[in-house]
Amino acid sequence: MFEVAERIQNLPPYLFAEIDRLKAEVAKKGLDIIDLGVGDPDIPTPKEIIEVAKTAVEDSSNHQYPSYVGMFEFRESCANWYKTRFNVDIEPNDEVVSLIGSKEGIAHLPLAFVNPGDFVLVPAPGYPVYPVATMFAGGNSYIMPLEEKNSFLPDIDKIPEDILKKTKIMFINYPNNPTAATADEGFYKKIIELAKKYNFIIASDNAYSEIYYGDYKPMSFLEVDGAKDVGVEFHSLSKTFDMTGWRIGFALGNKDVVAGLGKVKTNIDSGIFQAIQVAGKYALDNSETLNKPIRKIFQERRDQMATALEKAGFEFKTPKATFYFWVKVPKGFTSAEFTKKMLEEKGIVVTPGNGFGAPGEGYFRISITNPRIKEAVERIKSAL
């Protein structure tokens, strides 16, 4: 037997394993299951993107090792897209790095900037990659709880000064997974000021900027004055174009941060298959046309889900962005107890809030990435 390294032994238990076990048990009893647990869109990638990729796959000039930082043409499209979408100026040469999905970049960032003993500010509930990547780099996570009374924004005045002095990176993520909260310019201004004062990097995870509803349109952290002095933004084609399986994303902003991340990547991976970059470039260049129908589908599902949850008497805010609902667990239940009940009695899989970190206790997350939303909605209406 080979003993795994401490960094693996120290990983938090895989919370979804218990859900998977329960799911199998319930399925065995013959109950039909609708999975609203995973945040992976069921909608296929737009056909035009697939066609561009097919042609690019056949082109032998795409068959060799790609450039580590990404094809210039792809990085240029990332920069152009930030200009048209957010009016942010980005230099494609040294302010963009392509990523094998933004998860890859998020996971590698601490390796570039965190020394043992350094702190990383991590939101919870939140994407588990932030604390795990911090631990892998030998750093310590300082948990910033996201609480309803603060609109699920971290209360930065609560972070102790001795932690701030040892902080290298702050992770933030708006529109937020799992709470669906959004951030405005005032919040970004505050954290930029803090980052300048204590000399740390802001890593803004903007994976959901193109999944928005009604009149609301999310902003980029990089739109705010001074953002590029202190940080980068991670973006992903996964949610924007239903391309989760393709593994393509990018980081852009501060060039020292981009260079640091690039350095780690040069020593670990060899970039994204060029045919996928060609398809990604096409997607970004035609973003509005390709993203609009996707948004429309999620908007319909969001409206149906909001109506159903309201009818059933659940406590929640209708999301302005993301494909998640962050819902209060009814009185008398823990998150785990209630999600178990939903599964056993209604055949509906939802994610217990504490799976995203202890401050998520008391909530559950619904993901509307399932085509059977109408049936799910019927079952949820009778859940309480």
Q: Which residues bind ligand PLP (CB under 6 A)?
A: 39, 101-103, 127, 173, 177, 205, 207, 236, 238-239, 244, 249
Question: Least separation, in Å, of the C-beta of 305 and ligand PLP?
Answer: 18
Residue 167 or 238: the one with the smaller Cβ distance to ligand PLP is 238
Question: Least separation, in Å, of the C-beta of 98 and ligand PLP?
Answer: 11
Question: Are 284 and 78 within 8 A, CB to CB?
Answer: yes
Residue 231 or 347: the one with the smaller Cβ distance to ligand PLP is 231
Residue 164 or 284: the one with the smaller Cβ distance to ligand PLP is 284
Residue 151 or 334: the one with the smaller Cβ distance to ligand PLP is 151
Question: Least separation, in Å, of the C-beta of 112 and ligand PLP?
Answer: 17
Residue 142 or 208: the one with the smaller Cβ distance to ligand PLP is 208
Residue 26 or 251: the one with the smaller Cβ distance to ligand PLP is 251
Two structure tokens written together for 167: 């902080």
Question: Least separation, in Å, of the C-beta of 241 and ligand PLP?
Answer: 11
Question: Are 141 and 151 within 8 A, CB to CB?
Answer: no
Question: Least separation, in Å, of the C-beta of 177 and ligand PLP?
Answer: 4
Question: Least separation, in Å, of the C-beta of 108 and ligand PLP?
Answer: 12
Residue 76 or 205: the one with the smaller Cβ distance to ligand PLP is 205
Question: Least separation, in Å, of the C-beta of 273 and ligand PLP?
Answer: 15
